Amino acid sequence: MSADLGEERSTAAGLLDSVSRLSGTVLGIVHTRLELLRTELQEEVHHTAKLAIWAFIAAFAGLMTLFLAALTVIFVFWDTHRIAASIGMVLLFALIAIGAAFAAQHKFKTKPPMLDATLAELAKDRDQLRARL
């Protein structure tokens, strides 16, 4: 009887040890994935901030260029066709705006999903845990 009791205790201790190791492994995996998530979020924020700054600079410089070009065209045709030159510049800017809107829409639709690497790693972890069970 005492051998059976010792065997049960040893089995329970072994089971508790296995659960403890599994819990430690799962917590380690979660910790690693959260660190990866944090890193990806930081990179995304930095990338977005840099992109916003350069987009603002490009937009401002582009708008100034277009404005001055339009004024130049209107001034060149001031004595002969200033209305036609003004309408032509308005139409040109409208076409540029429409083209830019379509380009921006395309960029937003084709952007890779955020946190792609983190989700891929979590899927690998899930598959490995399922294979062990």
| Model pLDDT, residue 53 | 93
Can you say how many angstroms the Cα of residue 124 is from the centroid of all Cα atoms in its chain?
21
Name the more confident of 108 and 72.
72
Residues 64, 57: Cα–Cα separation, whole Å = 11
Q: What is the mean pLDDT of residues 105-124?
A: 78
Least confident window among 4-13, 49-58, 87-96: 4-13
Q: Which domain covers residue 36, as residue numbers?
A: 2-132
| Model pLDDT, residue 8 | 67
pLDDT at residue 6 tops 70 = no
Q: Please count the structural domains in the chain.
A: 1
Task: Tell me which H or E stretch contains 23.
Answer: helix 2-76
